[in-house]
């Protein structure tokens, strides 16, 4: 898998949380091989007790996972969250990845009435707004796999 450092016309809203690859958007994580624990974000290490904390590797999570739980919001996220317009209603979901870690995120580009716990979702980059240079400012989000 090849990591793509930059996508023309797109800028991450928060750096170091996800990467573009030739296989799609992947959430950045880290794995401690001593205690077999994954972390998100990759720099926020929460080891198991008595772990020597010496064998940590940066990794990318799978592009797909299972929806563990979700809610549908009918009001805008409070500041500092920023979008070009009103995105309501939108989903917020917790996704379990095959690596054994769960990550929360927006659920977009999906029929919210059809969401079901356990359904497969994929990670993609979602445009929040345009910056002063005309670039799309993006974050990761989840959508139902078709």
pLDDT at 43: 80
H or E element at residue 74:
none
Mean pLDDT of 94-101: 97
Q: Is the pLDDT of residue 48 over 90?
A: no
Q: Tell how far CA 48 is from the center of its chain.
A: 23
Q: Is the pLDDT of residue 96 over 80?
A: yes
Higher pLDDT, 7 or 103: 103
Render pLDDT for 50-85 as a digit per residue (tens, 0 to 9). 888 788 999 999 999 999 999 999 999 888 889 999
- Report the predicted TM-score, pTM, of the whole model to 2 decimal places: 0.91
Render pLDDT for 21-37 as a digit per residue (tens, 0 to 9). 999 999 999 999 998 88
Structure-token pair, residue 120 = 């497969």
pLDDT at 121: 98
């Amino acid at each position: 898998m090849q990591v793509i450092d930059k996508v023309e016309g797109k800028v991450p809203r928060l750096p170091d949380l996800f990467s573009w690859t030739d296989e799609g958007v992947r959430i950045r994580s880290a794995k401690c091989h001593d205690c077999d624990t994954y972390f998100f974000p990759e720099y926020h290490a929460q080891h198991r007790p008595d772990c020597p904390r010496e064998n940590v590797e940066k990794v990318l999570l799978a592009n797909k996972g299972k929806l563990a739980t979700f809610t549908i919001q009918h009001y805008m996220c409070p500041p500092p969250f920023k979008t070009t317009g009103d995105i309501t209603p939108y989903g917020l979901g917790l996704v379990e990845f095959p690596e054994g870690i769960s990550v929360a995120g927006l659920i977009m580009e999906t029929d919210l009435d059809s969401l079901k716990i356990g359904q497969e979702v994929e990670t993609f980059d979602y445009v929040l707004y345009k910056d002063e240079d005309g670039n799309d400012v993006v974050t990761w989000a989840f959508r139902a796999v078709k």
